[in-house]
A and B are shown apart, each in its own frame.
Chain A
Amino acid sequence: MREGPAMTTDAPSLPAKRKSMSLIDHIYDPRSRGIILQVLLAVALIWFTAEIVNNAITNLKKQSIASGFDFLGRTSGFDISQSLISYSNTMTYARAFWVGLLNTLLVAGLGIVLATIIGFIVGIGRLSTNWIIAKLASVYVEVLRNIPPLLMLFAIYFAVLKSLPAPRDSIELPFYSYLNVRGLTVPMPTWLDGIGYVVAAFFIAIVAAVLIARWARIRQEATGERFPGVLVGIGLVVLAPLLTFLLAGRPVSFEYPTPGRFNLSGGVTMLPEFVALLTGLTLYTAAFIAEIVRSGILGVSKGQKEAAAALGLRPGQSMRLVVIPQALRIIIPPLTNQYLNLTKNSSLAVAIGYPDLVSVFAGTVLNQTNQAIEVILITMAVYLVVSLLTSFFMNWFNSRMALVER
């Protein structure tokens, strides 16, 4: 349209102003206006970034703060109370970073598993036909999701865990566990020879379960006969390692914590900070997961259940084969969001002193090195990567579960 000269010969009847566009025409032309707008935005963004970088360089020079990532190789000089990998204060800041990151992933991973379990139980409880169970579940949801998670952490940490008795009056829990002001001490398993067989049996069982499920599906598609593939699969995965475990002569020994005069000896102790963070995040997120589960199940239209009944499926079958697969489709996307929220909320650890990534890196390391820009950027980048990886995985999972329409 806008190649003016070519049009003059073909369409002499067109108005003369089509021939070449003046500035005014460009302002009124949507395409040119779009380009002008974008150029302006790009210039503004570049100017803004340049200004920020420029100011930052000046300010850093004036306050004589070093820049660059050299600090990662320097000795940290501080201790971390919980570490999954070997760490001491003579190691580098980079090592401290990994310790913090692993602590974050540990609490987030455990929290996700526990919150999912509790969330499903409460969510299904809210739909229970038993009036009192349904009410209790809704009280749980309505109370916990309307209170800031940070307040829950404080309450659990300062009001509950910090008022626990001293180690010598530890509270005894089942399974030889002890709870006191220094944390939760549980028996520590030590794996003996032969545990390799159990692990091998576990993986072989998983492969077998997958193969059986596939065979069952193919057979059902071919003949219409059902085979309880999932049940057999679960049985295999549970029973095979268990049998191997017993056959191999129970290759595990527990180191039980024993109460001494002033302290517990033996066992493995979870820090009170860890216990508080895990409990708080789990209970808080579970309230949201419960709502997601409930709305997912309610979201499957009644006609589906009626159709299943018309086909002669029993209530259990209709739940398992018709309702749940469809409810999962509704549940998975918001569930992903909750998993991500839990991971991000684990950064509240900084408020109660659990050594997670934010607390170790954006807290202690930032204070020691003063290199705010690098430290905060690295921290943000880690959360971004974790978020993106989780959403990619869940999107993939979601697309596998999604309805395949013709």
Chain B
Amino acid sequence: MSTNTNVAEQEVRRPPAGAGPVAWLHKNLFSSIPNTILTFVGLWISYKLIAGVVDWAIIRAVFTGSDGDACKVPDVGACWPFITHKFDLFIYGRYPEAEIWRANLTFLLGAIGLAGLMIPAVPGKPAFAVFTLLVYPIIAYYLLTGGIFGMPIVATERWGGLLVTLVVAVVGIVASFPIAILLALGRRSKLPIVRYSSIGFIEFVRGVPLITMLFMASVMLPLFLPEGVTFDKLLRALIGVALFSGAYLAEVIRGGLQAIPRGQIEAGDALGLSYPQKMGLIVLPQALKLVIPGIVNSFIALFKDTSLVLIIGLFDLLGIVQQSISSDPKWFSPSTPTTGYVFAGFIFWIFCFGMSRYSQMIERRLSAGDKR
């Protein structure tokens, strides 16, 4: 960490006494007596952790079997056949087996679109943006629900697992985007009614837990609709999630709007641009670019929050794992719950950790420009 110029000069003149691994060990692990004690405590904790995980996941684990009986041995570790047998269920829910290619194609197209948008080196960003934000949702909708080109209709009740998690998270963030931009602009508007209704909505939603929003969407919303109009359960959850994340995203975007100097808006005024032109052509493109890390972070939060939809009876990844654990007598065994949670946790972790690394990378790239 010592990138001080003085230190660098000294190092040129006189090479450090010991630059090898021994010096490193001395400096970072055994520099003083308390430090040495800490090192041993740390080593002991690491050993316990690593040994525990290896012991549970590999040494004492059961790898083959066709039901929970295989895992009913004393002192058993992980029960991996539970995962391998139910893998399709965890990923697609009860999506018909013959139609699973449609879900896979949706995943693939989404991955391509996102990769094109997110990897800085890929050219053609505008084309990818149009594809991912406008074309892809339509394709994905028809692919997943079916009903055209002879594809049979798959009711949303049959969707489940990671598929629902991804659908709720992606639709949530995409649908909340326009809401968030309007709310963020509204909160900074000079018109009092617009400003106060935006503030009221944002602060209300941010002040209540997501569960109450989901309860509202699932039990109150039907009461608010005219007679005869009913919503799909998944759609109701999506409305709750989109409104919820819209309010949070609005605050992120507001942060970006505040960072744009007034001179930019004044320059727009000088050019005679209208309000939508000023915002759409000058302010928002700069503001949104600034807050990409914040947007990714709200997406991570939303991705984790999608697990709450199980409370209103949808089977996302966690919901379907929980259901398999608690109500499938075929797989009852002492280690089934832990195995299931570890698997679900691992999938969630991969997604969230990957995204957080991505947002850190973008943050570094953005701040690299400032450091010139």
- Taking Cβ atoms with an 8 Å cutoff, the residues of A that contact B are 34, 37-38, 41-42, 45, 52, 55-56, 58-60, 62, 128-133, 135-136, 142-143, 145-152, 154-155, 158-159, 162-163, 344-345, 347-348, 350-351, 358, 362, 366, 372-373, 376, 379-380, 383-384, 387-388
Whole-angstrom distance between the Cβ of B354 and the nearest chain A Cβ: 9
In the complex the two chains form, is B207's CB within 8 Å of A372's CB? no
Known contacts A128-B38, A130-B29, A130-B35: does B45 contact A136 (CB below 8 Å)?
Answer: yes
Q: Which of A52, A60, A131, A155 is in CB contact (< 8 Å) with B341? A: A155
**CA of A350 to CA of B210 in the docked complex: distance in angstroms?**
12
What are 16 A-B contacts defined by CB distance under 8 Å?
Answer: A34-B191, A130-B35, A131-B28, A132-B43, A136-B46, A145-B352, A146-B352, A147-B345, A147-B352, A150-B318, A151-B318, A151-B344, A159-B337, A344-B209, A347-B212, A387-B206
Chain B residue numbers with a CB within 8 Å of A351 are 310-311
Q: Tell whether B88 is near chain A: CB-to-CB under 8 Å.
A: no
In the complex the two chains form, is B308's CB within 8 Å of A129's CB? no
Interface 9-residue window, one of B96-104, B118-126, B155-163, B223-231: B223-231
Chain B residue numbers with a CB within 8 Å of A358 are 209, 211-212, 215
In the complex the two chains form, is B193's CB within 8 Å of A42's CB? yes
In the complex the two chains form, is A56's CB within 8 Å of B223's CB? yes
Known contacts A131-B28, A132-B39, A159-B337: does B305 contact A38 (CB below 8 Å)?
Answer: no
Chain B residue numbers with a CB within 8 Å of A159 are 337-338, 341
In the complex the two chains form, is A146's CB within 8 Å of B356's CB? yes
Whole-angstrom distance between the Cβ of B342 and the nearest chain A Cβ: 8
In the complex the two chains form, is B45's CB within 8 Å of A373's CB? no
Q: Which of A45, A129, A130, A158 is in CB contact (< 8 Å) with B326? A: A158
In the complex the two chains form, is B219's CB within 8 Å of A45's CB? no
In the complex the two chains form, is A133's CB within 8 Å of B38's CB? yes
Chain A residue numbers with a CB within 8 Å of B300 are 146
Interface residues of B in 320-355 (CB under 8 A from A): 322, 325-326, 334, 337-338, 341-342, 344-345, 348-349, 352-353
Known contacts A345-B209, A376-B219, A388-B207: does B348 contact A148 (CB below 8 Å)?
Answer: yes
**CA of A37 to CA of B185 in the docked complex: distance in angstroms?**
14
Q: Tell whether B141 is near chain A: CB-to-CB under 8 Å.
A: no
Q: Tell whether B106 is near chain A: CB-to-CB under 8 Å.
A: no
Sorting the interface of chain B by its residue count into under 10, 10 to 19, 20 to 34 or 35 or more gives 35 or more
Having A154-B318, A350-B211, A387-B207, one finds 11 other A-B pairs with CB under 8 Å, namely: A129-B31, A132-B38, A132-B42, A146-B352, A151-B345, A344-B209, A358-B212, A362-B215, A373-B220, A376-B219, A380-B208
In the complex the two chains form, is A132's CB within 8 Å of B348's CB? no
In the complex the two chains form, is B311's CB within 8 Å of A37's CB? no
Chain A residue numbers with a CB within 8 Å of B318 are 148, 150-151, 154
**CA of A21 to CA of B219 in the docked complex: distance in angstroms?**
50
Chain B residue numbers with a CB within 8 Å of A149 are 304
Interface residues of B in 222-243 (CB under 8 A from A): 222-227
The closest CB in chain A to the CB of B190 belongs to A34
Chain A residue numbers with a CB within 8 Å of B204 are 380, 384
In the complex the two chains form, is B193's CB within 8 Å of A155's CB? no
Chain A residue numbers with a CB within 8 Å of B223 are 55-56, 59-60, 372-373
**CA of A207 to CA of B352 in the docked complex: distance in angstroms?**
48
Chain B residue numbers with a CB within 8 Å of A152 are 345
Chain A residue numbers with a CB within 8 Å of B353 are 142, 146
Chain B residue numbers with a CB within 8 Å of A148 are 304-307, 318, 348
In the complex the two chains form, is A379's CB within 8 Å of B212's CB? yes
Q: Tell whether B197 is near chain A: CB-to-CB under 8 Å.
A: yes
Q: Tell whether B59 is near chain A: CB-to-CB under 8 Å.
A: no
Chain B residue numbers with a CB within 8 Å of A380 are 204, 207-208, 212, 216
Whole-angstrom distance between the Cβ of B229 and the nearest chain A Cβ: 9
The closest CB in chain A to the CB of B355 belongs to A146
Chain A residue numbers with a CB within 8 Å of B306 are 148
